[in-house]
Amino acid sequence: MSGLLDRRRVLFVCRAASSESVRTAEALAGLDNVEVLTTHATSVDELISAAARLRDEEGSLERIVTTQETLLEMVAQANEALGLPGLSVPAVRRTLDKSLLKSTLNAAGISTPRYQLVQNIDEARAFAREIRFPIVLKSLSGSGALATFLAHSEADLKTATDLGSFLAEQHVTGQELCLDTITIDSEPKFHSVCCYYPSILEAVENPDTQWSCVMPRDMTPYADFIEQGLKAIRALDVGNAMTHMEGFIDANGDAWFTDATLRPAGARIAPMLAFAYDIDPYRAWARVAVDGCFDGPWERKYAVGTIFLRGVGAGTVQRVEGIERVQREFKDLLVDARWPRLESRKSVTYTGDGFVTVRHRETEAVHDVLLEIARLIDITYSSGSQPATETWGSRLQNFRELNRPAWDQAN
């Protein structure tokens, strides 16, 4: 009887039963003496009410958790209202609010692109005149690359400012990469670097590009970026968290940081961690979020890379060439794949219609294989013409759905 009373009840909040949310819930349930409850609450009041009811009905509630960026602040507010542990509301806000993030990092001596909150076309024009086109515009209400736009002209500025307030930002170029960490009591205990080819914004702006991300085995070449990134994470003072931070190394070798969040990374980076370290990244997140523990250190055994499969055209997938050859020639390197499904509608998300993940002890070998896969895989759609880039307004309106890959199914 005492065992039942001691059960740790954890409320997991998600928007839909995707494969990622299912794996995350299973990882929570795999922790010692944890019982997982789930809800799809869509507002703070609704979440607080649901959590309070569960606590009263079940006799206890340990905490509320989520891995979805758009739910982080709501979950933090609910935990705070109910006196439960978890990410603090201030920590979530200074990480996710793009303006607060940059002011926090600047105060700590971390380089970020120049920025300004713009609320109308005149303010946007003034900022663009000061730093010159192109400039980056980021929605204050959206998350991820689908809520980020590259403005090349005043016409683009007019389109964006008609949609509301934006954070206007200097366009930094160079090698885009990310830093993922696990922090315990705000101190990073683990870090990993992953590089994008080309940048994610370029992938969003060019929907036919088969882009990739590579987790190099040797992180030594990125030592300065890592040092600055860890300094940034400490400045954010996030407590116990799995963090994801985006940035660039420019032509001068200087590190710049652009965005951050308090959740496992998207774009297949969490599964790539599994292949690089031979660990379970979902359990790693659960251990941090619920137990406040990190089970490392881990050895980075492999370089890992993922390419996202896309092509020119519109409509539905009619033919995919090159699959058999890729499977035959690279069978010893392939560790995960989701091939485009025939007759499925072309995905509008930047993660495309499928992916291939490879690993090898040498980073250069991973690069070479991804380039060859990009050459071999060719997708034919029912309409050969590429539609005009989706309007910024529709991307903002639908970014939650667009950010979910077409191949991310519950089963």
CB atoms within 10 A of CB 403: 22
What are the pLDDT digits (tens) for 168-223?
Answer: 999 999 999 999 999 999 999 999 999 999 998 898 888 888 999 999 999 999 99
What are the pLDDT digits (tens) for 260-294?
Answer: 999 999 889 999 999 999 999 999 999 999 999 99
**pTM across the whole model:** 0.91
Q: Place domain 175-388 in its CATH homologous superfamily.
A: ATP-grasp fold, B domain (3.30.470.20)
Amino acid 275: pLDDT: 98
The rounded percent of the chain whose pLDDT value lies above 90 is 72
Amino acid 2: pLDDT: 42
CATH classification number, 114-170, choose in 3.30.1490.20, 3.65.10.10, 3.30.1490.190, 1.10.3720.10:
3.30.1490.20
Give the count of alpha carbons within 13 A of 376, CB side only.
Answer: 17
Q: At what angle do helices 44-58 and 72-82 cross, to 10 degrees?
A: 50
Amino acid 58: pLDDT: 86
Determine contact, residues 170/133, Cβ cutoff 8 Å.
no
The chain-wide mean pLDDT, for the chain, equals 90
Class of domain 2-86: alpha beta
Determine contact, residues 366/218, Cβ cutoff 8 Å.
no
**In which band, very low, low, confident or very high, does the pLDDT at 154 lie, cut at 50, 70 and 90?**
confident
Amino acid 411: pLDDT: 39
The answer to whether the Cα torsion of 213, 218, 222, 228 is positive or negative is: positive
Domain chopping of the chain, boundaries: 2-86, 114-170, 175-388
The C-alpha atoms of residue 342 and residue 366 are separated, in whole angstroms, by 28
Determine contact, residues 280/27, Cβ cutoff 8 Å.
yes
Q: Is the pLDDT of residue 164 over 80?
A: no
**In which band, very low, low, confident or very high, does the pLDDT at 410 lie, cut at 50, 70 and 90?**
very low
What are the pLDDT digits (tens) for 62-104?
Answer: 999 999 998 999 999 999 999 999 999 999 999 999 889 999 9
- 8-17, 286-295, 314-323, 402-411: the lowest-pLDDT one: 402-411
